[in-house]
Structure 1
Amino acid sequence: MRKALFAVFLLLFLGSASAVKVRSHSIEVSIEDNGSASVIERYAIEFESVLDVDEFQENKQRNSSGLAAWKADYPFFFPQFGEIAGNKLERSFVSYDEESNTLTLEYRLREAFPSLLADEPRTTSWSISSAQLSAFQKENLIVIPENTSIEFNLPSTAEVSEPSLPAGASLVGKTIVLRGLTTSHLDMKYSVQKPIVQTVNSIQLIQEFISNSSNLALIVVGFIVIGIVFLKRKELSERIETYIVEHSELEHQKPEEEIELEV
């Protein structure tokens, strides 16, 4: 009797653990210019009974935002682009929205997400390969289920090589979207334009200044002033010398006058 009750309890426990089902799964990978990436995974879940809801609430209170605890309770919940894809996490955070029944996992990768193909003076070329989607590999195929969407948000200056996208993928602006597709190989390539460093060209500045008609008057006045100074440079030099001599004599006379007054 006790064995039968224990078996029933065990079945109920295991059944409740597997009764949490994933209705839809969306992944958003935001990639920066240098290949660094942040990932947001949203799991829209549903429950088969009130008991499943109660157990989930207990697990939620116990697990808080700890990823390891959530993975232990719900095997489907893990970073799809984490260790299974050869990447290490820099940080992670788990949250749950009661209203939409959405379990969210946010994490940032420690190293670059795409593979660097070439680093040239004006552009950097990258590739998102099959290795990054190891979590979706089944019998040497990459299978993205119909209820799963993956968005790769590329930098604003990225240029995507559309021929490198698999059949069924879509490109919306700078975002590559994978949903409900199967492919044997993945090698999505894109390049990022590097910012152009502005250099100051003194010759160009002079040419632009001269070409402006409103600056002609200033140029003429400047030449006139320079010409006057050049023609009267000797007279100006003598005046300056006279001024210096006169003022130096006055400075020497002041102490003598003060001494006579003291005597």
Structure 2
Amino acid sequence: MLRTVTVTRYITPLREGGSLPAIVEADDEFMYVLKFKGAGQGTKALIAELLGGEIARALGMRVPEIVFANLDEGFGRMERDEEIQDLLKFSVGLNLGLHYLSGAISYDPTVNKVESSMASLIVWMDCFLMNVDRTAKNTNMLYWHKQLWMIDHGASLYFHHGSGDWQEKAKQPFTLIKDHVLLKQAAHLDEADKKAQSLLTSEKIKEIVSWIPDTWLADDISKDEQRARYSQYFATRLANAAIFITEANHAREALI
């Protein structure tokens, strides 16, 4: 289960993010990048961040510690920026924080290289999650202490923002993989699939999904039913991984 902290100090906004995440300090005296439930995509972006980040961790990737971050009522009343003040007001309660990797630098595809087997696993994961946000323009990978770290999975699982049959969407290829920053290096997707299938057991998926807080889920359907939908979506997507692997291989062939 994830730790819960209470935000004690707002340090600075990260304005490169459209949802205005911020660096904050919590009552454990650590700093976090805070993702606000009051931002544009609401709690569904936090659910995607939680599920995507913990699935990456289950696959053996380095991901900053994810915590639940409580924002007390009245926090930020002295904030002068009205946009930030509104964001804080609408984010009272449980938000999501990622341990701040001080001094980390962004992955640069013109400078850094990722070994092919790891690149393949990352591409596989982003196909699995339908993550649209790991491109050359915005890699969402960091180097910290000479190691590669995965961040920012809030743009994953975009299907849950719309209506329709989740199970049908789970069987779809991920055509936007053509824009993935590591696609050229992903020469071993079949091997990545075998590894991922062995690590993402139904028990592991259900455990991760069980961490979604009740307050992030809709009120019109039971919370357990909503969690079951996510678990079933992932199970269906795993069972039909050949569909998105084929799409990724075709997209890669078009690049090289």
Tell me the TM-score normalised to structure 1 length. Answer: 0.22
Larger Cα-atom Rg? 1
Question: Higher relative contact order at CA 8 Å, sep ≥6: structure 1 or structure 2?
Answer: 2
TM normalised by structure 2 equals 0.22
